Structures are given as C-alpha cells and as structure tokens.
Amino acid sequence: MKEQRIVVKIGSSSLTIPEGGLNRDRIDYFAGELVALREKGWQVLLVTSGAVAAGYTRIGYEQRPKLLHEKQAAAAVGQALLMQAYQAAFAERGYAAAQLLLTRSDFSNRKRINNAMMTIDELLKRGVIPIINENDTVSVDELKFGDNDTLSALVGNLVRAQQLVIITDTDGLYTADPRKDSAAKRIDRVDTIGDELLAIAGGSGSNVGTGGMRSKIEAARIAMRGGIRVFVGRASEPGDLVQAAESSGKGTYFETALASLPMKKQWVGFHSLPQGRISVDAGAERALVEGGKSLLPAGITGVAGDFHPGDVVEVVTDSGRLVGRGVVNYASWQVRAAAGLTSEEVLQRIEIARIEVIHRDEWFAL
C-alpha cells in the first residue's frame, strides 16, 4: 500500500521561549512525535516557524523586531539555530532532516515549484524528513505568505498530502475565546467554512508568532479545496501527534470530500499573481460557480488592471467579493470593449482567438 503523506505545521510559540530563543525540550519532543508518525507508516513533512523568534536575542534585540530588515537579520541567524536543533534531535533517532526555504514567488513560478516538488519527492523516497520554512531573509512584505499556516496548506496541496496537522496553543476552535468566556464550547468537526465560522476566529494568540485562529481556518479552507483533511489543535504529551493523525486528537477536524487538485489548478487558484480584475453580474457568477460554465463577455460589468492573454485575473462580484481566478483569453482593452455584449456582437466588433473570456478548464472558484 502506498504510504500516505502528512504535513505538520508547528508555530513559533510552540518552539521558542517567550523572551526569545529556542526551547530545546520542545524541539526534542516534536522530533520524537514526528518520528513516531514516520514509524507508523506516514511520509512526514514539517513546516516550521521560529527563525525570527530563535535569532533576535542572539543579535542583541531586546524584543521581537518589527521592521522588515530587522526581522530578516534575526531570521538569518535564527534559521541556522533552528535547523541545527532539528538536525541534532532527528539524528538521535536515526533520521536525517533536510531544509527547504520557499518564497511566494517560488510558488508562482511553475518551473521552480515543480523542481521543489521533485526534490521533496526524492527526499521522502530516501526516508528524509523535509523541514520547510519561508525564506524570511529574502521575502518582501508584498509577497510574503503572511504566516506559515498558509504555507503549510500550499505545501500540502503541492505534495498531495492526505492530512494537514496545524499545532497551536489551544485544543481546537471554540465558539468563543475560552480564555474570556467560560461558556465557550469546542467545535470538534467542521464540514464547511462559512462567514459565521470566520467571524468566530480572533487575532494572533501570542506575541512570538504571526498566525491566529483565523489564519488557521483560512489555511484549512485552502487545504480542504485540495482534498486534504485538516486538524487544528494541541500536541503536548507523547503520542498526541499520532492521535491527531488517527482522528482522536485534542482539537478540531476540518473534513472534506473533494479530490486532490492537479498542479495547473493549484497554480491558478493559489500560486499565481493576478494581473487584473474582472467584475461579473449574478448570472455569470452562478454560471461559473454552480454551472461549471466558462465566462462569456455578456456577464462582465467591469475591468481593472492592464493584462494580456494568458495572464491570471481575479473575478469578483459588483460588490467586490472574490469569486475565483482564471487564465484570461483577452487583453484588458478587449474585455473593456466586449463587456456586456452578446457573443455575436463581440465577434462582429473585435478580433479574438476564442469567445470565452475565461474557459472553464482554466478557472478556479475560491
């Protein structure tokens, strides 16, 4: 039987001490948990945070830096310390670990992300545990993942994982903040993520990380679209990570019945950098999302940006709500000229290669 793949994301607060620096005991604990998963037959990938938190005191900052160049300097030191600690912890258990540092631009470039996927496949084939982090030392704010929750979901889709485990300080998603509301109840299972669920999530839960519960729910949404089951919860005792993988963990499970996504759909939906925006009416939205149809000029109500055939654009409603992304067959000026026209009128007025502004095979609903 083919081994199943699991991506485990561990945040800064689980790996470092509040005043800055690594918590070696926790790193050793998680290494043991990850090896236990490996020996249960899982192919394990680790997405780790902690580079900035590990490095900032080492270079003289009294508190976690806020300016980009300061965080990048701290990460340059901290990433080496973090990997050194992981390497030692895994080596004690007979395993090798590998470091992969990725940026958003790596994912947006099809050739580079395909190379990353082949590298990961080879490492897993050799029994190595890939350790993945954002390349903080070269990332810029406009192109950052925002937090490693998002990175873990994108990695999960990339490697076609069966499960994503996101470790956090609390044992799952609650109906309210359990630290403030004694009546808050844990939500054990989620089948769909809607506005009500997103409204429950708050901000960042600690001062050493960047991700709060909302970012974890957003990551779960990305993973679920790729057919990946997600666990968000706590791991603090021996065996907790195996329990999380085996459906008895201390947290919330996000279930999905969807299949894994082809690489092209992943690229369009999650990795590409949109070059413009097309607004559509309610009928076109229904055709795209519910009817599995292509986008035709008649349903277009507005255009923003300067784009060309083959570029990826966002599709939004008239109110600005994001519907999805697609590869456009028109230049922006052609869409402006064709907006609201019937197909027959478009063919009479504009020279185009095909009538669909976005073909359904090049479309991804969000």
pLDDT, tens only, 304-315: 999 999 999 999
Q: How many other C-beta atoms lie within 10 A of the C-beta of residue 182?
A: 7
Are residues 255 and 156 located together in one domain of the fold?
Answer: yes
Q: By the 8 A CB rule, do 204 and 211 touch?
A: yes
Model confidence at 344, pLDDT cuts 50, 70, 90, reads very high
Are 143 and 196 within one domain?
yes
* The pair of three-digit structure tokens given for residue 210, joined into one six-digit string: 């960047």
Percent of the chain with pLDDT over 70: 95
Contact assessment for residue 82 and residue 50, using Cβ atoms and an 8 Å cutoff? yes
- Whether 176 is covered by a domain: the verdict is yes
Mean pLDDT lowest for which of 13-22, 40-49, 227-236? 13-22
Cα separation of 244 and 169, whole Å?
14
Say whether pLDDT at 203 is over 50: no
Q: Is residue 348 part of a domain?
A: yes
Q: Is 267 inside any structural domain?
A: no
Distance of CA 156 to the CA centre of its chain: 8
Distance CA 189, CA 170 (A): 15
For residue 313, the enclosing domain spans 274-365
Residue 254 lies in a domain: yes
The last residue of one of the domains, among 206, 237, 262, is 262
**Predicted local confidence at residue 195, as pLDDT:** 80
- Give dist(CA 97, CA 210) in Å, integer: 25
- Res 108: pLDDT: 85
257 and 280 assigned to the same domain: no
Tokens, residue 7:
């991506």
Q: What is the mean pLDDT of the chain?
A: 91
**Coil/strand/helix, residue 89:** helix
Question: What are the Cα distances from residue 147, in Å, to 133, 142, 227, 283, 299?
Answer: 10, 13, 21, 36, 36
CA angle centred on 270, ends 268 and 275, rounded to 5°: 60
pLDDT per residue as tens digits for the range 101-116: 998 888 888 889 999 9
Question: Residue 130 falls within a domain, yes or no?
Answer: yes
pLDDT in tens, 125-154: 999 999 999 987 776 654 466 679 999 999
pLDDT computed for residue 208 by the predictor: 43
Co-location of 246 and 293 in the same domain: no
Domain membership of residue 268 (yes or no) is no
Residues 185 and 285 in one domain: no
Q: What is the CATH number of the domain that holds 82?
A: 3.40.1160.10
User: Apex CA 105: angle with CA 103 and CA 109, to 5°?
Assistant: 125
Domain count within the chain: 2
Pairing assessment for the beta strands 97-102 and 129-134 based on DSSP bridges: parallel
Same domain, 250 and 359: no
| Residue 269 is assigned to a structural domain of this protein | no
Checking if the pLDDT of 209 tops 90, the result is no
Locus of tokens 């800055």:
20
Whether residue 35 is found in the same domain as residue 121: yes
**Within this chain, do residues 198 and 289 fall inside the same structural domain, yes or no?**
no
Question: Same structural domain for residues 312 and 166?
Answer: no
> Which tokens is 215 given?
């970012």
pLDDT the model gives residue 75: 92
In this structure, which amino acid lies at residue 188? D
Do 153 and 38 belong to one domain?
yes
pLDDT, tens digit (0-9, with 9 covering 90-100), for 171-199 = 999 988 888 888 889 999 999 998 888 88
Choose among 64, 74, 72: nearest CA to 13: 64
Regarding whether 255 and 143 lie in a shared domain, the answer is: yes
Q: Give residue 2's pLDDT.
A: 60
CATH of the domain at 303: 2.30.130.10
pLDDT at 137: 74
Local confidence band at 210 (pLDDT 50, 70, 90 cut-offs): very low
- At 204, the pLDDT band (50, 70, 90 cuts) reads very low
Whether residue 287 sits in one domain with residue 199: no
pLDDT, position 197: 86
Give the angle subtended at the CA of 158 by the CAs of 154 and 160, to the nearest 5°: 115
What are the residue ranges of helices labelled H in the chain? 24-39, 51-55, 68-91, 104-108, 110-125, 148-158, 195-200, 213-225, 240-245, 263-266, 282-289, 332-338, 343-349
